[in-house]
Structures are given as C-alpha cells and as structure tokens.
Amino acid sequence: MTGVITPVSTVEKDGLKFVIFDAPNDSNLPGYITELTKANVGCVVRVCDSTYDRTKLESVGIAVNDWPFPDGDPPPDAIISQWLTLIKTTFEGDKKKGGGAGGKKCIGIHCVAGLGRAPVLVAIALIEKGMDPLDAVQLIRGRRRGAINAKQLSFLESYKRRSKKDCVVQ
C-alpha cells in the first residue's frame, strides 16, 4: 500500500525530544512529513541507506543528516561525536533564539525498522543527560516495543558518558 506509514514514537525527557520512525520511501514520505512537522522536527538523522529523496524534507525546512552504520551494531565513535554535537546545537543552541535547528526543538531519527540503530542513538543522548542506561532503554522500549538488541544493550550498559553532569557538552 502506498502512503501508509508506521506510527512514529516520541521519546521525551528532561528537555530532549526525539521522534523515532522506520525508513520512509518516496510514496509514504508525505505522511511522515506531516507527523514530523506536527512534532516540530528541525532535522532528521538517517542511520541507514537512503530510501527516499531527502530534498522533499529539506523543502519543508527539515535538514537531513546521513550517518549510516551497520544494522545491529552500536554506532562508531565518529557518529557518536556527530550525534552529540547535533544534540548540543539543537537543544542547547542559542537560548535567546529558542535553541538550534531554526528554533525547532525536536530531532527525528530513523533506521530501517526504527528498532536498533535509531533507538541506540536516542539512548546515548539520554545517558549523556544523566539517565541510567537501563532506564533509558526501558523508556525507549516503552514507546517503541522491541527496540535495542542484546549486542546494542551490552554496548549501552558499558557506554561511558562524554559530558560532565547533566549537560550535553563534548
């Protein structure tokens, strides 16, 4: 069926807000654009191979970051660094102007099914904000059933925060 979308999942905690979803295609992208716009998403992080034309998102003011990494794996250090920089600019940006990403305070993120790579990066953001790794996973799984496999869970349990206190600073 064309145009049908899988429901998106919103994860929100301590000033951070993410929309996790599965990979759109060109036929159902308009439905996702509607959901992302409603959630005030300013940028999308694509951690899988491209399945749609990014210019359709960009034409409605949603930036797209392509940071693919292998399915089922934890993210490489370079992607974690880029992710943490995006978190900082989006949620801490210039507070006088309402944060980064053009004042939009939500990040959309997807992989193929929205169950592995995307939720792991969201968990990292929550851990950096001071949340316990297992609590972060539980919060995400409460919104996105089946998220985060055993290998990724092990990675998150041993993940060392790069920030000091509860701020996302590199």
Active-site residue identified among 71, 106, 166, 167? 71
Contact by Cβ (8 Å): 36, 19: yes
Annotated active-site residue in 48, 111, 135, 166: 111
- Is 78:121 a contact under the CB 8 Å cutoff? no
Q: Residue type for 3, please?
A: G
* Alpha carbons 97 and 93: distance in angstroms, whole number: 8
Would you call 166 a catalytic residue per the annotation?
no
Catalytic residue status for 48? no
DSSP state letter for 74 = P
CB 105 within 8 A of CB 40: yes
Dihedral (CA of 44, 69, 126, 143) sign: positive
Q: Tell me the residue length of the chain.
A: 170
Could you give the residue numbers annotated as active site? 71, 111
